[in-house]
Chains A and B, each alone.
Chain A
Amino acid sequence: MIGVGKIKQYSNVLDKPLSKGKQEVSLSAFSFLFSELVQYNQTQVDNITELERRLEDAGYSVGARVLELLCHREKGNRRETRLLGILSFVHSTVWKVLFGKVADSLEKGTEHEDEYMISEKELLVNRFISIPKDMGTFNCGAFVAGIVRGVLDSAGFPAVVSAHFVPVEGQQRPRTTILIKFAEEVLRREARLG
């Protein structure tokens, strides 16, 4: 779990609590690793879409493993078969384990039936990143979008997931939205299940 590195120092090893507790990783360590990941991928590609795709693929493998781990550890091994079930699982459990808090909001898209959005005021991975002007609409949240896609795909809900900046009045930095567009078969199956 990525935390802010608030690890209590115990003067005496006997004072440490017996239970293992939640394992935390310091935010700075993760940010360094992530920045190296982005820099490495930047040297390998020529354009922005390729960079986004690579970050997303990196997130995809994380997502697939996170799903296995979380279902075994947290959810008591119940399978999610409903759309809303898997979405709320991603929105609360996955976010809580990865980022330490639940996502800010989960909304259903208004224009299309198959679109859902998870919004966050600021993604943890983007906290120390500012995008240069000439990169346009690139968002390092593509990594998180890849994680979500990995979770949904491995659970049997194929979807196209992307990360976007949405400017909000009254705030300097734009809000980040993860847009999830489910495949046709998911909606058909959901309609069949009633």
Chain B
Amino acid sequence: MIVCVAVVGHQNNPLYIQSFTEADDALKLHHIVHCSLDVVDERVNNPKRSGPTLNETFLGLLYPTENYKVYGYLTNTKVKFILVTTDLDVRDADVRNFFRRFHSAYVDAVSNPFHVPGKKITSRTFAERVSGIVKSFGLSSAG
């Protein structure tokens, strides 16, 4: 099940961090998200294979820690989405689907004329959509 999602801006400033379990403390999750940013930068700047994979947005599994898996996704404007989950058997297609819907919600939040790019995302609609997507991710991958 998904523990935390985060949106990080292009200067590595956090734009939105939301955790979905009460047990773990937020600080540990912040720390995990922060460490995964290094992995993202590494993947982006030193691609293992150039060519068609150079421009992919979905970065895949960034690294597994003791009981979490961290997935990354990079948008066109260098905004990164980080997903932390405790599931052991997530399918790749499920994560891609999740990121696709998350990206839609993000684009809608950014299109708000009152949103200042670079500041935190404070829209309640965005928060509700994200929790909706997170809930349906849990259901679809369990079935």
Shortest distance in angstroms between B115's beta carbon and chain A's nearest beta carbon? 9
Please determine whether A64 and B117 come into contact, CB atoms closer than 8 angstroms.
yes
- B residues 93-120 near A (Cβ < 8 Å) are 100, 103-104, 106-107, 110-111, 113, 117
* Nearest B-chain residue to A156, judged by Cβ: B78
Residues of chain A within 8 A of B55, CB atoms compared: 78-81
A72 to B104, CA, bound (A): 7
1/0 contact string of A64-79 vs chain B (CB within 8 Å): 1101110111010111
Please determine whether B110 and A77 come into contact, CB atoms closer than 8 angstroms.
no
Sort chain A's interface into a size bin.
10 to 19
Count how many pairs of residues, one from A and one from B, have CB atoms less than 8 Å apart in the complex. 53
Please determine whether A71 and B76 come into contact, CB atoms closer than 8 angstroms.
yes
Sort chain B's interface into a size bin.
10 to 19
Shortest distance in angstroms between B83's beta carbon and chain A's nearest beta carbon? 16
Tell me, yes or no, whether B54 is within 8 Å of chain A by CB. Answer: yes
Residues of chain B within 8 A of A155, CB atoms compared: 76-77
- A residues 123-148 near B (Cβ < 8 Å) are none
Shortest distance in angstroms between B7's beta carbon and chain A's nearest beta carbon? 12
Shortest distance in angstroms between B49's beta carbon and chain A's nearest beta carbon? 14
Main secondary structure of the interface of A (DSSP, over half): helix
Shortest distance in angstroms between A161's beta carbon and chain B's nearest beta carbon? 17
Please determine whether B77 and A68 come into contact, CB atoms closer than 8 angstroms.
yes
Main secondary structure of the interface of B (DSSP, over half): loop
Residues of chain B within 8 A of A61, CB atoms compared: 113, 117
Tell me, yes or no, whether A92 is within 8 Å of chain B by CB. Answer: no
Tell me, yes or no, whether B136 is within 8 Å of chain A by CB. Answer: no
Tell me, yes or no, whether B38 is within 8 Å of chain A by CB. Answer: no
- B residues 42-92 near A (Cβ < 8 Å) are 54-58, 74-78
A17 to B111, CA, bound (A): 27
Tell me, yes or no, whether A35 is within 8 Å of chain B by CB. Answer: no
Residues of chain A within 8 A of B56, CB atoms compared: 78-79
Shortest distance in angstroms between A39's beta carbon and chain B's nearest beta carbon? 19
Shortest distance in angstroms between B118's beta carbon and chain A's nearest beta carbon? 10
* Nearest A-chain residue to B106, judged by Cβ: A68
Shortest distance in angstroms between B57's beta carbon and chain A's nearest beta carbon? 4
Cβ-defined partner of A67 (8 Å) among B74, B76, B103: B76
Please determine whether B74 and A68 come into contact, CB atoms closer than 8 angstroms.
no
Residues of chain A within 8 A of B58, CB atoms compared: 77
Please determine whether A79 and B111 come into contact, CB atoms closer than 8 angstroms.
no
Cβ-defined partner of B77 (8 Å) among A73, A75, A154: A154
Residues of chain B within 8 A of A69, CB atoms compared: 107, 111
27 contacts between A and B (CB under 8 A): A61-B113, A64-B117, A67-B76, A67-B77, A68-B75, A68-B106, A69-B107, A71-B77, A72-B75, A72-B107, A75-B76, A77-B58, A77-B75, A77-B100, A78-B57, A79-B55, A79-B56, A79-B75, A79-B76, A80-B76, A81-B54, A81-B55, A154-B77, A154-B117, A155-B77, A156-B77, A156-B78
14 more A-B residue pairs beyond the given contacts A65-B110, A155-B76, with a C-beta to C-beta distance below 8 A:
A67-B77, A68-B77, A68-B106, A68-B111, A71-B76, A72-B103, A72-B104, A72-B107, A73-B107, A78-B55, A79-B75, A80-B55, A154-B76, A156-B78
